Structure formats: structure tokens, C-alpha cells
Amino acid sequence: MAELSGAVPDYDHEIVPPGRRAHFWRRVAFTPNGAFGLAVVIVLIASAGLADLITPYSPIKMGVGPRFLPPNGAYLLGTDEFGRDLFTRIVYGSRLTLMIGAIAVGISLTVGILVGLIAAYRGGWTETILMRGTDVLFSFTETLIALACVAVLGPSLKNAMIAVGIAGIPFYARTCYSAALVERSKPYFEATIAAGAGPLRLLFLHLLPNVLPTMIVVATLGLSAAILAAAGLSFLGLGAQPPDPEWGAMLSGARDYFNRAPYLMVIPGLAIAVTVLGFNLLGDAIRTALDPREGSE
């Protein structure tokens, strides 16, 4: 799990925002990594959006087929211990996975940006308290924070999303803080203060738009960590509960049958791995396309 997975690649280079660079997406999509990542993400979004159309059965209703049927023509990926179609459950699972990733990252991103911006803008005691606090939380690792949150809130899919979201805050706060410090030292910022702009205008109309591109790149990479973390919680039984077709929970359920039906365990795991790999490669490709240091070498 980054943390829970520990999947924290190095972000310490300066990131040049998209938009300022011509043909940015072309540069991402024409690298092998970027193309693969983009393809995975597109397939994921399509299967989440079209789940009702492309699946032949219900993801939750039991006994749509025989139990433990290995992959075959009628049940593409086989059936599980309750005679549910695994393909259908995997496709619906993509919907849950995207939702979990989006909500968790949304929480981390919103709070992280606020903390980072305020710390960088206010300076002084506010900065010390906010950033030291962030350091303290950061040293706990996301796993422990998420676990503590679930311990307080109780195990459920909703709480797992909140827990993973809270656990990610320190990381986003740190990244936003360093990006905002860079912006604060630029001449335009001083000019805006001299022109008499108030704190809210400075924070939300000047700092925020300038850190946002960096934060969006970071969030693409963060999505993979959040998805992995939430799947880990569900695997432990602390997140999504049966009969939800969540991949981590499905993997956990398959443990009892792994002699009899190893495909029940292999397939959801592959789904998580490919999804996380897709977001990692896409994020990495975006970062490389934006990093002035890499391409020139």
C-alpha cells in the first residue's frame, strides 16, 4: 500500500506546466510508456462508462452460471464461488477503482493545496506549524495514517476512500508548498502585492493557477498510489465489503479457493497491476515531457 504502495517517484525536478509547451500531448502519446499508459487509462474509462452495455450479466447477482467455471466462451474470465461472471465483476470494478482514485486524490489534492498555499503565502508561525505538522505526518507513512483513519471511522468503502485521501495530504501539501515558494519569489508576485492585491486574490487568482499544472501532474502519479492503497485496504477487509466488485476485495475472497480456482486470484491482481502501471507510466511520461533536464540528455 504507498504508500500505501510506497510508490513515490522523485518529483524534485522543476516541472514546466503543460500548455506552455507546444504539442505536449503528442510528446506524451508518442513515447512507448506514454502510449501504453494512455491506452490503459482510456480502456479503463471506457469500461467504467460502458459497464452496463459491455457486460452480459449482473456483477452482484449470484448463480448466473455454475460455480468455479474456468474461463470459457460464455464466461470470458470464468465464474467465482457464487457463480458470478468474473468478467462482469472486473468491468464494474473499474468503475469503483476510478471512483476511489478520483475521490481519494480529490481529498488529498484539495486539502494539500490549501495547506501548501497558505504555508507558503503566510510564512512565519503558520508556515512552521503547517509544514512541521506535515513532516510529522509524512514520517508515519500513508499506510499507518490510512489504518488509523479506518480504525476511527470503521471499515467500509466510503471510509477507505476518505482514509486514503487523508493519508495522501502530507505528500500533496509538501509538493504544493515547494511549488508555491518558487512562485512567491517571482517578480510578478511582488508586482501584484505592490498593485495592492489582497490575500485572497493573491492566493486564489495568482498562486493557485500557477501551482495547479504541477499539482495535476503529481496527481496523475498519485492516482496509482491511491488506487493501490485502497485496494490494499479492501484486501485486508477494511475497505470495500462483499458483494462489491472491488478488485482488492475480490482478490481477498479468492484466497480461500486458490487451489481450486487460481484464476480468481490472478485476474483481479492483474487488473490492479495493469491499472496502476498505466497511471504510473502515463504520469512518468507527462513528467518526462515537461522536465527540461531529461530530454536534452
Partner 1 sequence: MWRFLGGRIAMGALTIFVTTIAVTLLIHLVPGDPVQIMYAQSQGTTPEQLEEIRHNLGLDQPIYIQYVRFVGRLFQGDLGYTIRGHQPVLDVILQRLPNTIALAVAAMAVAILIGLPIGFFAAYKRGTMVDTGLMVVAIAGVSVPHFWLGLVLLLFFAVELGWLPVSGTGPLNLVLPAVTLGLSNAAIVARMTRSSMMDIMRQDFVRTAEAKGLPKSVILSRHVLRAGLIPVITMMGLQFAFMMGGAIVVENIFAWNGVGRMAVEAIFQRDYPVIQGFILTFAVVVVFVSILLDGVYALVDPRIRRS
Binding residues for partner 1 (CB under 8 A): 1-10, 33, 132-133, 135-136, 139-144, 147-148, 150-155, 224, 228, 231-232, 235-238, 248, 251, 255, 258-259, 262, 265-266, 268-269, 272-274, 276-277, 280-281, 284, 297
User: Beta-carbon neighbour count of residue 90 at 10 Å?
Assistant: 23
Amino acid at 277: L
Question: Which of 273, 262, 271 lies closest to 71, judged by CA?
Answer: 262
We find the least distance from the C-beta atom of residue 206 to partner 1, in angstroms, to be 32
The residues, any chain, with a CB within 8 Å of residue 11's CB and separated by 6 or more, are 175, 218, 221, 287
Residue nearer to partner 1 on the CB measure, 207 or 223: 223
We find the least distance from the C-beta atom of residue 234 to partner 1, in angstroms, to be 10
Residue nearer to partner 1 on the CB measure, 203 or 289: 289
We find the least distance from the C-beta atom of residue 149 to partner 1, in angstroms, to be 9
The residues, any chain, with a CB within 8 Å of residue 41's CB and separated by 6 or more, are 278, 279, 282
**Which segments of the chain does DSSP mark as H helices, in order?**
24-29, 32-49, 51-54, 86-122, 124-139, 141-153, 157-184, 187-194, 199-201, 208-235, 247-254, 263-290, 292-295
Report how far apart, in Å, the C-alpha atoms of 166 and of each of 64, 108, 149, 207 are. 39, 6, 8, 23
We find the least distance from the C-beta atom of residue 152 to partner 1, in angstroms, to be 5
Distance separating alpha carbons of residues 56 and 162, to the nearest angstrom? 32
Residue nearer to partner 1 on the CB measure, 108 or 141: 141
Torsion angle of C-alpha atoms 159, 160, 162, 164, degrees rounded to 10 = 160
Distance separating alpha carbons of residues 242 and 244, to the nearest angstrom? 5
**CB of 13 within 8 A of CB of 209?**
no
- Cell reading at 81: 464461488
Residue nearer to partner 1 on the CB measure, 33 or 192: 33
We find the least distance from the C-beta atom of residue 273 to partner 1, in angstroms, to be 5
We find the least distance from the C-beta atom of residue 39 to partner 1, in angstroms, to be 15
Residue nearer to partner 1 on the CB measure, 163 or 203: 163
Residue nearer to partner 1 on the CB measure, 7 or 91: 7
Residue nearer to partner 1 on the CB measure, 152 or 205: 152
We find the least distance from the C-beta atom of residue 189 to partner 1, in angstroms, to be 29
Residue nearer to partner 1 on the CB measure, 96 or 207: 96
